[in-house]
Amino acid sequence: MNVLVIGAGGREHALTWKIKQSSKCNDLYVAPGNAGTAAIASNLNIGVNDFELLGQAVIEKKIDLVIVGPEEPLVRGIRNYFASHDQLRGVLMVGPDQVGAQLEGSKDFSKDFMVRNGVPTAGSLTVSKDNLVEGIEFLKKVEAPYVLKADGLAAGKGVIITSDINEAESTLKEMLDGQFGAASQKVLIEEYLHGIELSVFVLTDGKSYMTLPEAKDYKRIGEGDTGPNTGGMGAVSPVAFADDAFMARVDEKVIQPTVRGLQSDGIDFIGFLFIGLMNVDGEPVVIEYNVRMGDPETEVVLPRISSDFLSHLAAAAKRELGEETLQIVDETATTVVAVAEGYPGSYEKGRVMTGLDQHFEGVVFHAGTKLEGQDTVTNGGRVLASTGMGPDIQTALNQSYANLKSIDWPGINFRKDIGQDLLNL
Ligand code: AMP
Ligand code: GLY
C-alpha cells in the first residue's frame, strides 16, 4: 500500500515512523515533512492546504491511503475536495469531512453536539454582539475563574481564563471586536472545571471505534506549569489516574454517546477523535474535541502500540475497523519537547543543530527541522520530541533526557520537570 502523511510536525514524524514498520507499507510519502521524515520516507514539497497539488501527487504517485495530520486542511475540507474529484474519490483517507471537522473548528458546534447527545461537558453560553448583555449577565452568574473561548480555530491561543470579573468583561468585548479575527465573532463563556486533565484518543470509522492509549500533555512553557501556553512541551502515557475503572466511565459516558451522536446526526466521520477531558471527582467531563491526533501526545501514544497501525488506519478508511484488534505494550512512554529560544513568543529559525547522528535510546522525533545542504537546521518553535520508553516512568524519562544531553543548537530550551508530578503516584 502506498501512503501519504500530510503535515510537518513531530506528530507526522511519529505517524510516518509507525506506518513504516508495517509489512503492508510500500511507498511512503510526507507532505511537506521535515528532516526526520526525510530520513525514513520521501518528502514532497507541498503545503498542507494546497489541495490541488496534493491531489496531483496522489494520482502521480499512485497513493492508496492519505493520513491527514493537522486540523486545518480538515476544517478547510480536504476530504470534500477529494470526494469531488473523479480520480481522487476512491483514494482512502483518514480524516473527517468539513462537517465532522466542525467538532474542532467550531466550539459552538461541538458544545451543541455534546449537549444534544448527552456527553458530559461544562455549562456554557455562546455570545455574539447580538446578545452581549445576556453574556455579561451570565458572567455575573457563574463562579470565577471565568473561561472565554473563541468559537473558531485560533492556533491554540483562543482560550482565555481569568479570575477578575472586570477583565473577563473587557476580554469578552475585545474578543467580539475581533481579537482573533473571524474566529472570535462568537465566544463561549464556560463554567470552570476543577480536576485533572487527560487526553483520550479514538480512531473511528463512524460505526466502530478503537480507543488508543491515553496521555497527559504538559502545556505551559515553564517548569511547574508556569508561563504562557504552548502547543505542548512534553507528554506521558499511560496516566496513573486513568485506571481501568475511570477509562470504563470514559467509554460509557463519553466515547459511546459521541460515536452514537455522529451516527444520529448523520456525520460521516472517518478519523481520529482526540477528546480533551477533565477528571472531576472521578467523573469525566469533556473540555473539547479535536479531529486529529495530539502533538506531542502522538509521540508517546504510537510507541505503545504493538499491532499493525497501518492495518488499523486502512481498515478505518474502508469502514472495516470492527475487524481489527489493537495491541498495547504495557510500558511507559515519555516525550520531552525541545524548543527554540523565545518560543512560544517570537523565535529565529535556521539554527544549525548538532548531535543528531548518533545512537539514541527510544526515538528522537523531529518537529520543526529541515535539511539545508549538509546541515539539519531548526525550522519552527517546537524542534524535537525525545521519546523514551521503559517498564516505569523514571526509566522512560532517563532515556528522553539522555538523548537531549547530546543534542544542541544555539538557544535550545526544554522543561526539566516532565512527568515529575506522576512519578510518585
Ligand atoms: P482548549 O483550547 O479548549 O484545549 O483549552 C485550553 C486549555 O484551557 C485546556 O487544555 C484546559 O487546560 C483549559 N480549559 C479549557 N476549558 C476549561 C474549563 N471549562 N475549565 C477549566 N479549564 C479549562
Ligand atoms: N497537545 C495538544 C494538541 O495537540 O492540541
Continuous segment of H or E residues that includes residue 94 = strand 92-94
Residue 187, C-alpha cell as written in the block: 465566544
Ligand nearest the Cα atom of residue 294 = 2
Condensed to tens digits (0 to 9), the pLDDT of residues 209-240 reads 999 999 999 999 999 999 988 999 999 999 98
Average pLDDT over residues 135-159: 88
| Per-residue pLDDT at 130 | 86
Continuous segment of H or E residues that includes residue 390 = strand 382-390
Average pLDDT over residues 326-350: 97
Lowest mean pLDDT among 152-161, 282-291, 343-352: 152-161
Residue 208 carries which side chain, given as an amino acid letter? S
Rounded distance between C-alpha atoms, residue 205 and residue 272, angstroms = 9
Residue 259 pLDDT exceeds 90: yes
| Per-residue pLDDT at 71 | 95
Residue 310 pLDDT exceeds 80: yes
pTM higher than 0.85 for the full model?
yes
Average pLDDT over residues 38-65: 98
Place of cell 453560553: 125
Average pLDDT over residues 245-253: 97
Condensed to tens digits (0 to 9), the pLDDT of residues 274-302 reads 999 999 999 999 999 999 999 999 999 99
Residue 156 pLDDT exceeds 80: no
Number of C-beta neighbours around residue 86 at 10 A: 6
In the chain, domain spans: 3-97, 124-190
Average pLDDT over residues 305-322: 98
Rounded distance between C-alpha atoms, residue 114 and residue 152, angstroms = 17
Residue 281, C-alpha cell as written in the block: 471527582
Rounded distance between C-alpha atoms, residue 182 and residue 114, angstroms = 23
Ligand 1 atom with minimal separation from the 191 CA: 19
Average pLDDT over residues 320-334: 97
Ligand 1 atom with minimal separation from the 288 CA: 3
Dihedral sign, Cα of residue 55, residue 34, residue 289, residue 21: positive
Q: How far is the CA of 403 from the centre of ligand 1 (A)?
A: 31
Considering only CA atoms, which residue is closest to atom 14 of ligand 1?
Answer: 287
How many residues does the structure list for the chain? Answer: 425
| Per-residue pLDDT at 155 | 76
Q: How far is the CA of 62 from the centre of ligand 2 (A)?
A: 31
| Per-residue pLDDT at 181 | 84
% of the chain exceeding 90 in pLDDT: 86
Average pLDDT over residues 156-182: 88
| Per-residue pLDDT at 94 | 98
What topology does CATH give the domain 3-97?
Rossmann fold (3.40.50)
Condensed to tens digits (0 to 9), the pLDDT of residues 114-126 reads 999 999 999 999 9
Average of per-residue pLDDT values in the chain: 95
pLDDT tier at 158, thresholds 50, 70, 90: confident
Q: How far is the CA of 297 from the centre of ligand 2 (A)?
A: 7
Considering only CA atoms, which residue is closest to atom 3 of ligand 2?
Answer: 294
Q: How far is the CA of 355 from the centre of ligand 1 (A)?
A: 37
Lowest mean pLDDT among 13-22, 52-61, 130-139: 130-139
Residue 357 pLDDT exceeds 80: yes
Q: Verify whether ligand 2 is closer than 6 Å to residue 234 (CB atom).
A: no
Q: Verify whether ligand 2 is closer than 6 Å to residue 290 (CB atom).
A: yes
Residue 425 pLDDT exceeds 90: no
Say whether 124-190 and 3-97 share the same fold. no
Pocket of ligand 1 (CB under 6 A): 122, 147, 159, 190, 192-193, 197, 276, 287-288
Q: How far is the CA of 73 from the centre of ligand 2 (A)?
A: 16
Ligand nearest the Cα atom of residue 288 = 1
Q: Any idea which architecture 124-190 has in CATH? A: 2-Layer Sandwich (3.30)
